[in-house]
């Protein structure tokens, strides 16, 4: 592909942006960046941040100019070289190896009952913790982790293991501050996941089931690819439904009129889709420019390490009216929370089924009067991955 470079604007530098401010609340930063340029060089994260919807969408649709196989990838270091950091045709081969395990037919046949069983189990434990309990710690996190453990086929691990593996691996993926303690924890989980996979694969060849590991055990996929892809799935496959669930509950409890509308009409899908537009659980992912090119009018140099900030794109006022507000009545427009193109999130159906189909309606049906705890404020955090860190609630 030939791209005309003449007349393109240079990329501005945003040297005032800090990692601490991004982690605390990135949205005021994105509001300041977007009007100036679709792309900014941000020294603090050593990356070009792409903050407008049109530019992010363009990147997602063009792997020829914008490669997922980024040089010096933090994800490769934290998890191995997974399909998420590969382009087609290599990416497509590994994506197809997942078969139908995460798709709607398999969810209906195998996993819907698992989601319902786990929701009942962890809701009972949440109720036992009593009013003031943290919805993330006592329900959303263990529920998402146990769902994922069952889907993946880790009979030799607990949901607590999955939580620890997921958090330390995604902390490594987002370790833009190069914290050695973060790397040490990620490396420990890296080894533990490999050991668990190596133990399960021969067992599942002899005792096949509906799990992802069982399906992979009979395919001619290199072991290193299986290991890397499972680590990637442990990361996004846990934090995405956990954080979508937590943010949706938080948003609804802060907007009682909208909660009433959702309850009256069973509008859980509207609440969920607006939630992940408003706060994308996976808020930024990398790409690399394969040549000097123009992106939405600005000149991006060959080798540029890009951060596709879907969290900023999903609040672009050129696409979404009043984008900073949570609004379940918003006209449905395509958001980028699940990515797009060939890398559209493979776990999107699982997230929707487990959160929209099971967890949200069950929580609000069985906890009448569910409300935020006035004595313990909720806390959100993150910019590469973002969600509720604490969500104390009361009911009754």
pLDDT score of 339: 86
**Contacting residues for 71 by C-beta, under 8 A, at least 6 apart:** 288, 303, 305
- Cα–Cα dist 303/66, whole Å: 9
- Residue 134 pairs in a beta bridge with 392
Q: DSSP class of residue 342?
A: G
Q: Judging by DSSP bridges, how do beta strands 47-50 and 293-295 pair with one another? A: unpaired
For residue 58, count CB atoms less than 10 angstroms from its CB and return exposed for 0-12, middle for 13-18, buried for 19 or more. middle
Size of the chain in residues: 396
CATH topology of domain 19-391: Cytochrome p450 (1.10.630)
Q: H-helix or E-strand containing 289?
A: strand 284-289
- Whether the CB-CB separation of 237 and 344 falls below 8 Å is answered with no
pLDDT score of 3: 57
Compute φ and ψ for 281, nearest 5 degrees.
-60, -45
- Cα–Cα dist 176/42, whole Å: 12
- Spell out the long-range contacts of 262-265 with Cβ–Cβ below 8 A and sequence spacing 24 or more: 262/328, 263/364
pLDDT score of 93: 87
Q: Judging by DSSP bridges, how do beta strands 298-300 and 305-309 pair with one another? A: unpaired
**Contacting residues for 167 by C-beta, under 8 A, at least 6 apart:** 239
Residue the block writes with tokens 């994922």 = 148
- Cα–Cα dist 136/133, whole Å: 9
CA triple 318-320-326, angle to 5 deg: 145
- Cα–Cα dist 204/274, whole Å: 39
Give 323-382 pLDDT, tens digit per residue: 999 999 999 889 999 987 787 788 889 999 999 999 999 999 999 999 999 999 999 999
Compute φ and ψ for 288, nearest 5 degrees.
-130, 130
Comparing CA positions, the residue from 270, 276, 261 lying closest to residue 351 is: 276
pLDDT score of 332: 85
Answer whether 0.85 is exceeded by the pTM: yes
For residue 321, count CB atoms less than 10 angstroms from its CB and return exposed for 0-12, middle for 13-18, buried for 19 or more. exposed
- Spell out the long-range contacts of 31-37 with Cβ–Cβ below 8 A and sequence spacing 24 or more: 31/315, 31/324, 33/312, 34/312, 34/316, 34/317, 36/12, 37/9, 37/11, 37/12, 37/298
**Contacting residues for 287 by C-beta, under 8 A, at least 6 apart:** 59, 66, 67, 68, 70, 306, 308
- Whether the CB-CB separation of 379 and 389 falls below 8 Å is answered with yes
Give the distance, in angstroms, between the CA of residue 115 and the centroid of all CA atoms in the same chain. 19
Q: What is the DSSP string of 202-215?
A: HHHHHS--SSHHHH
Q: What does the block give as tokens for 389?
A: 């860190």
pLDDT score of 126: 97
Can you list the residues of the chain whose pLDDT is less than 70?
Answer: 1-4, 6
- Cα–Cα dist 54/39, whole Å: 11
Compute φ and ψ for 393, nearest 5 degrees.
-135, 165
- Residue 67 pairs in a beta bridge with 288
Give 286-312 pLDDT, tens digit per residue: 999 999 999 999 999 999 999 999 999
Q: What does the block give as tokens for 189?
A: 């989980």
Domain edges within the chain: 19-391
Give the distance, in angstroms, between the CA of residue 249 and the centroid of all CA atoms in the same chain. 17
- Whether the CB-CB separation of 382 and 175 falls below 8 Å is answered with no
Residue 367, SS3 per DSSP: coil
Neighbours of 146 (CB within 10 A): 23
């Amino acid at each position: 592909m030939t791209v005309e470079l003449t007349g393109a604007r240079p990329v501005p530098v945003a040297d005032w942006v800090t990692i601490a401010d991004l982690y605390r609340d990135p949205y005021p930063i994105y509001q300041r960046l977007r009007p100036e340029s679709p792309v900014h060089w941000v020294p603090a994260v050593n990356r070009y941040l792409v903050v407008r919807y049109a530019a992010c969408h363009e990147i997602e649709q063009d792997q020829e100019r914008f490669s997922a196989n980024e040089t010096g990838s933090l994800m490769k270091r934290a998890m191995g070289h997974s399909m998420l950091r590969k382009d087609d045709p290599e990416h497509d081969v590994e994506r197809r190896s997942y078969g139908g395990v995460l798709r709607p037919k398999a969810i209906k046949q195998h996993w819907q009952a698992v989601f319902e069983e786990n929701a009942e189990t962890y809701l009972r434990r949440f109720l036992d913790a009593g009013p003031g309990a943290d919805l993330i710690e006592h329900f959303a996190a263990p529920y998402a982790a146990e769902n994922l453990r069952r889907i993946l086929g880790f009979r030799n691990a607990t949901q607590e293991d999955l939580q620890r593996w997921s958090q330390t691996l995604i902390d490594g993926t987002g370790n833009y501050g190069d914290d050695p303690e973060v790397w040490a924890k990620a490396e420990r989980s890296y080894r533990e996941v490999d050991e668990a996979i190596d133990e399960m694969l021969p067992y599942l060849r002899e005792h096949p089931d509906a799990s992802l590991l069982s399906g992979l055990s009979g395919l001619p996929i290199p072991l290193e690819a299986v290991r890397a892809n499972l680590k990637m799935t442990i990361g996004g496959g846990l934090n995405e439904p956990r954080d979508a669930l937590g943010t949706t509950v938080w948003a609804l409890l802060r907007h009682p009129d909208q909660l009433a509308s959702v309850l009256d009409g069973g509008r859980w899908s509207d609440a969920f889709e607006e939630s992940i537009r408003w706060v994308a659980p996976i808020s930024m992912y990398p790409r690399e420019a394969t040549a000097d090119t123009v992106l939405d009018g600005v000149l991006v140099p060959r080798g540029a390490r890009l951060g596709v900030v879907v969290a900023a794109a999903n609040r672009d006022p050129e696409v979404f009216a009043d984008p900073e507000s949570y609004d379940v009545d918003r006209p449905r427009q395509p958001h980028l929370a699940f990515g797009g193109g060939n890398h559209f999130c493979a776990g999107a159906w699982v997230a929707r089924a487990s959160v929209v189909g099971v967890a949200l309606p069950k929580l609000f049906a069985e906890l009448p009067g569910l409300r935020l705890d006035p004595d313990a404020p909720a806390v959100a955090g993150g910019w590469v991955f973002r969600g509720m860190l604490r969500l104390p609630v009361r009911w009754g």
